[in-house]
């Protein structure tokens, strides 16, 4: 298979009789293994693609938003480019939050207050 292939299929939705006669929707297939992506980029792409990625490593995008083949073709290519750019973007590192001594004491005091409130709930004994 080539790196990418396009095929035209019948679209659904608005378009009247034209939608039944003309294959305007575009199905774009890309062989992801042929791109030779770095393992971490490939992993991110796999997560982003979700069910659009097949077990054989094909990324299948279907564009049927517009009524013309050309507009759908451009839409599919644009979405593919956005997906690849997003896969190459490194996720931001999360900075650990640091709690000072006073904040820690307040948090523990709040937990203690809540525990006493909950401890007060329960079966009432008549003793």
29 domain-assigned = yes
Per-residue pLDDT, 105:
95
32 domain-assigned = yes
Per-residue pLDDT reduced to its tens digit, 82-104: 999 999 999 899 888 888 999 99
122 domain-assigned = no
Per-residue pLDDT, 75:
93
CATH of the domain at 77: 3.30.160.20
102 domain-assigned = no
22 domain-assigned = yes
Q: What is this structure's pTM?
A: 0.66
Per-residue pLDDT reduced to its tens digit, 34-63: 888 888 998 898 898 888 888 888 889 888
45 domain-assigned = yes
Number of domains the chain contains: 1
95 domain-assigned = no
Q: Confidence class of residue 2 from pLDDT cuts 50, 70 and 90?
A: low
99 domain-assigned = no
- Kindly report the average pLDDT of the chain as a whole number: 86
Per-residue pLDDT, 74:
93
Question: Read out DSSP for the chain?
Answer: --SEEEEEE---SS-TTHHHH---EEEEEEESGGG---HHHHHHHHHHHGGGB-TTSEEEEEE-SSSSHHHHHHHHHHHHHHHHHHHHSPPPPPPPP---HHHHHHHHHHHHHHHHHHHH-SPPP--
**Structural domain boundaries, residue 33:** 4-88
């Amino acid at each position: 298979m080539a790196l990418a292939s396009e095929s035209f299929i019948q679209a659904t939705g608005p378009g009247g009789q034209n939608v039944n006669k003309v294959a305007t929707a575009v199905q774009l297939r890309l062989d992801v293994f042929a791109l030779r992506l770095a393992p971490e980029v490939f992993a991110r792409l796999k997560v982003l693609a979700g069910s659009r990625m097949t077990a054989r490593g094909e990324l299948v995008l279907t564009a049927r938003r517009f009524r013309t083949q050309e507009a759908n073709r451009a839409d599919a290519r644009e979405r593919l480019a956005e997906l690849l750019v997003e896969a190459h973007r490194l996720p931001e590192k999360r900075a650990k939050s640091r709690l000072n001594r006073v904040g820690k004491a307040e948090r523990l005091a709040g937990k203690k207050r809540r525990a006493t409130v909950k401890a007060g709930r329960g079966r009432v004994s008549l003793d």
